[in-house]
Amino acid sequence: MKSSPLETRVVPISAGPGRLRLLDQRRLPREEAWIDCRSADDAAEAIRSLAVRGAPLIGVAAAWGLALEAGRLAARGGERFDADWEEAAARIAEARPTAVNLGAAVERVRTAFRSSLGASPAERAALLAAEAERFEAEDRAACEAMARHGAAWIAARVGAPGAGPLGVLTHCNAGALATAGVGTALGVIRALAADRPVAVFADETRPFWQGARLTAWELAKDGLDVTILPDVAAASLIASGRIGAAIVGADRIAANGDVANKVGTYGVALACRAHGVPFVVAAPRTTLDPACPTGRQIPIEWRDGAEVLLLDPSGESRLSVAPPGVPALYPAFDVTPAALVDAIVTEAGVSTPPHAEGLARLLALP
Ligand code: MRU
């Protein structure tokens, strides 16, 4: 049965006091396999290896990983409860550098941990589980609010439904697989599709194939119309007039509105500007980093170039088309300048240029 527009059948995390299971996204769409985490280090390894990925979901997984760690250390007993937990928190915060949601989640749980000093270790573990639960629920609610704000903004910009479906292009996966809810960019697409026919074009997103493997799997599972295209075809598709809007997620947004997202996003934004197509970013406020003045200060993750050389770096095949011995570069993210971003959709509303003012206003809202 098809899910209703703001629901999804895709759930990448299952957690509660003393348990954390993560859908292993490296194995999608081949199989739905789950990883049972027993410690914060297990969660950190899942984040590092891209078994769990997507900025908001990384934060939620880290929050639950730290709650799990408190329970593990409480059951173990001994003097080093605080010290060992703090060290685990520092390690998980380092698992990946670009998504600011990870640091924000660790900071949130750390604050709860430090303010519960008088309680027993078991009580503190229960408090952290409650905090992780709240954090997860907030992300879910943020996705729904973004979906509504973003769909309303795009509908107003592109006008009433025409004869054919509205073509929407997206890059990477900013969906239910990247959040605790219906997704950021894909949440907006789900809300748009509730009111009009929408044809989604998913960039395949080399080399990890988040578009071809994850976005396509998730949207097809929920009954949406999705077509995969090579990343290199995005510019000509945008130029063809078949795309009404492009919408992507973000891993970190600087105070001036520069947006770090999966590498390839910048090219999509350039093509959109060249052809007058709205370029929209959807991200919860946990992705905004007011301490980062511009995109130049955003740490960009460089992954092993070997991942670029393999046809399927998340799979078991070691097949490569490249000649042996030739190196490759893999900056996992790029920065789209604020000037190319027509709208930044958050759960608190939409920022339009100038984004420095727009984002500060959204951050000041309750
Ligand atoms: O390397 P990934 O798969 O974690 O990169 C994910 C992205 O770049 C997403 O577009 C971004 O995190 C937004 S997810 C709602």
Specify the ligand 1 atom closest to the Cα of 301.
1
Domain boundary pick from 138, 163, 178: 138
Residue-range definition of the domain harbouring residue 31: 13-138
* 54 Cβ inside 6 Å of ligand 1: yes
Distance 39 CA to ligand 1 centre (A): 24
Q: Quote the pLDDT of residue 5.
A: 61
The rounded distance, in Å, linking the Cα atoms of 286 and 343 is: 17
Q: Quote the pLDDT of residue 315.
A: 87
The rounded distance, in Å, linking the Cα atoms of 70 and 359 is: 35
Please list the active-site residues: 251
Is the pLDDT at 60 greater than 80, yes or no? Answer: yes
Residues 89 and 196 placed together within one structural domain of the fold: no
Q: For residue 14, which of 30, 37, 47 has the smallest C-alpha distance? A: 37
* pLDDT, tens only, 241-290: 999 999 999 999 999 999 999 999 999 999 999 999 999 999 999 999 99
pTM for the model stands at 0.96
Strand partners, 332: none
Give me the mean pLDDT over the 353-360 stretch: 98
Which CATH number characterizes residue 249's domain?
Answer: 3.40.50.10470
Residues 311 and 223 placed together within one structural domain of the fold: yes
The rounded distance, in Å, linking the Cα atoms of 34 and 14 is: 10
User: Is the peptide bond preceding residue 29 cis, with omega within 30 degrees of 0?
Assistant: yes
CA distances from residue 244 to 76, 168, 190 in whole angstroms, order as listed: 56, 6, 15
Specify the ligand 1 atom closest to the Cα of 208.
3
The rounded distance, in Å, linking the Cα atoms of 147 and 137 is: 16
Q: Quote the pLDDT of residue 1.
A: 36
Give the pLDDT band of residue 237 (cuts 50, 70, 90): very high
Distance 58 CA to ligand 1 centre (A): 9
* 96 Cβ inside 6 Å of ligand 1: no
Specify the ligand 1 atom closest to the Cα of 55.
12
| DSSP line for 238-250 | HHTT--SEEEE--
Query: For the chain, how many structural domains are there in total?
Result: 2
Strand order in the sheet with 333-336: 288-289, 252-254, 259-262, 333-336
Residues 100 and 162 placed together within one structural domain of the fold: no
* pLDDT, tens only, 166-187: 999 999 999 999 999 999 999 9
- Region label for 155, one of left (φ > 0), alpha (ψ between -120 and 50) or beta (otherwise): alpha
Is the pLDDT at 306 greater than 80, yes or no? Answer: yes
Distance 318 CA to ligand 1 centre (A): 24
Which CATH number characterizes residue 121's domain?
Answer: 1.20.120.420
Distance 245 CA to ligand 1 centre (A): 19
CA distances from residue 38 to 22, 25, 26, 120, 207 in whole angstroms, order as listed: 11, 18, 19, 21, 30
* 178 Cβ inside 6 Å of ligand 1: yes
Range in 62-66, 133-137, 159-163, 278-282 with the lowest mean pLDDT: 159-163
Q: Report yes or no on 209 lying in a domain.
A: yes
